[in-house]
Structure 1
Amino acid sequence: MSDDGESGIAIIAFIGSVFSPYYAFARRKGAVDPLNHCAINVAVYRRGRNRWAMTERPRGAVSRTTNSFSVGPSSLSWDGTSLTIRIDEIAVPIPRRVRGTVRVVPTAITRQAFTLGEKGRHMWWPIAPCARVQVALDHPHLRWQGDGYFDMNRGDAPLEQDFSDWQWARGAMQDGAVILYEAQRRDGSRIDLAMTFDPQGRMQTFVPPRMVGLRRTGWRVDRSVRSEDGATVVKTLEDAPFYARSVISAKLLGEPVALMHESLSLDRFAMPVVQAMLPFRMPRAWT
């Protein structure tokens, strides 16, 4: 989010696009090459001017090295101190250009990763819990700086096989950042992670406060968050049949905090009617 709270951006680079209907259909026939289902998802948030782009591309449009990853005309590269993301995409459902550069400058890199699945099939690594972000977009024209975050998820099985519900939140604190990670596994067990990171990347866990229910989205997706003194939805950034991204006002460790929050219903995602809707938001380029 920008320092003035008016703008935001979320970027996800996919190898084996988790939410791809094409990837899901191909897997029904057997083993599939995840590099044949890659995408760089860009969501730009500005009052009245949101843009969403997520074009899936095949292996021939993908290139990667130790320090770089490109999918079609967009790319990510690491120079040892910062991550530079060059974006050149077309938004949907109204075709509009999303083009420019985003630079993510971590204050530190963490080393600890967390196993999420009960069978060890899913892993999460909060690579840079604290970072500064510099946004320079030409389409739409945006220039801002703000607080940011960079992480990675990896899995050896589709998310919907091992989880039914997923709630995640991250917010800037006076001295670092706080992250909450909750998920309901298919075997009935739960993940309940609550931790803070200082600007040097040092982590401390804490006992999470009670769960607070939030109002459902327009698509009736359930949202909840840990908070010591109630919580409210400041704005809903994404409202999809199985997913919501929101800004939540909460209180953690005695401190008011604005959280970037994600809710994911994997039962909803697996429904055939939802799968049939996905290509309208996630087109595929065949070359």
Structure 2
Amino acid sequence: MSDDGQNGITIIAFIGSVFSPYYALARRKGPADPLNHCAINVAIYRKRGSHWAMTERPRNALGRTSDRLSVGPSNLAWDGKSLTIHIDEIAVPIPGRIRGAVRVVPTAITAQAFTLNNDGNHLWWPIAPCARVQVQLDHPRLRWQGDGYFDMNRGDAPLEQGFADWQWARGATRDGASIILYEARRRDASRVDLAMTFDPQGRMQAFEPPSTVELRRTAWQIGRSIRSEDTAHVIRTLEDAPFYARSVIAAKLHGEPAILMHESLSLDRFRMPVVQAMLPFRMPRSWR
């Protein structure tokens, strides 16, 4: 989010796109090649309108080295101190160019990844819990700086096989630390309940999360909740999809007000045939 709270951006690079209807269809026919289902998802949020791009591409559009990942015309490059994301995508459902660069400058890199399920085939790594973000886009024309975060998920099995739903949130404290909450309901009815802070040097401190506060559901009736020491409320719904919601939430954590980027995911909803049929409108596929 920008420092003034008016703009936001989320970028996700997928190898084996977990939300791809094409990948899901391929897996139903037998073993499928994850490299044949790659995408760079860009979501831009501003008061004058949002922009979304997520074009899936095959393995011949993928390039990887130790410090660079490219999918089609877009790429992410690490120079040892910062991650620069060069974006060149077409927005959907209303076509339009999304082009420019986003630079993520971590204050520290963490070393610990977390196993999210008992089988050990889903891992989450909060690589840079504290970071500054510099956005310089030509289309749409945007220039801002703000607080940011960079993480990675890795899995060896379809996400919907291991989990029913999850709630995730991340915010910054007054002293520059990050607070992260990660809750998930596994298919075996057990739970993931992670609550932690990271200082700007990347040092982690786990804490006992406060009580759950239920939030109003989205227009698609996706449930939202947040851990908070007091009342909490939705400031803004950024993304409202049939199986997913991204929101800005106001809560109270560690004795102080907190503004958090929040996501709710319903994997039961995701795997419904009617939802799968809707996804290509937001996730077109290119053959190069």
TM range, smaller chain:
over 0.9
- The CA deviation at 1:8 is 0.4
Contact 1:234–1:249 (Cα < 8 Å) also in 2:
yes
Q: After the TM superposition, which residues 156-195 of structure 1 pair with which residues of structure 2 at under 5 Å, given as runs? A: 156-175=156-175, 176-195=177-196
Look up the match of 1:24.
24
Partner AA of 2:241 in structure 1:
A
Look up the match of 2:234.
233
Cα RMSD, aligned residues only: 0.5
Partner AA of 1:213 in structure 2:
E
Q: Secondary structure at the match of 1:95?
A: coil
Look up the match of 1:37.
37
Q: Does 1:78 align with 2:61?
A: no
Question: Identity of paired residues, percent?
Answer: 77
Contact 1:135–1:144 (Cα < 8 Å) also in 2:
yes
Look up the match of 1:134.
134
Q: How many Å separate the matches in 1 of 2:20 and 2:238?
A: 21
Q: How many Å separate the matches in 1 of 2:60 and 2:18?
A: 19
TM-score by length of 1: 0.99
Q: How many Å separate the matches in 1 of 2:32 and 2:164?
A: 23
Partner AA of 2:55 in structure 1:
T
Moved more, 38-47 or 26-35: 26-35
CA displacement, residues 118-154 of structure 1 (integer Å, 9 cap, x when unaligned) = 2111000000000000000000000000000000000
Q: How many correspondences in the alignment?
A: 287
- The CA deviation at 1:33 is 1.2
Partner AA of 2:214 in structure 1:
G
Look up the match of 1:216.
217
Contact 1:35–1:58 (Cα < 8 Å) also in 2:
yes
Structure 1, gaps ≥5 residues long: none
Contact 1:165–1:267 (Cα < 8 Å) also in 2:
yes
Q: How many Å separate the matches in 2 of 1:118 and 1:173?
A: 32
- The CA deviation at 1:59 is 0.5
CA displacement, residues 226-269 of structure 1 (integer Å, 9 cap, x when unaligned) = 00001100000000000000000000010100000000000000
CA displacement, residues 145-170 of structure 1 (integer Å, 9 cap, x when unaligned) = 00000000000111110100110000
- The CA deviation at 1:31 is 1.2
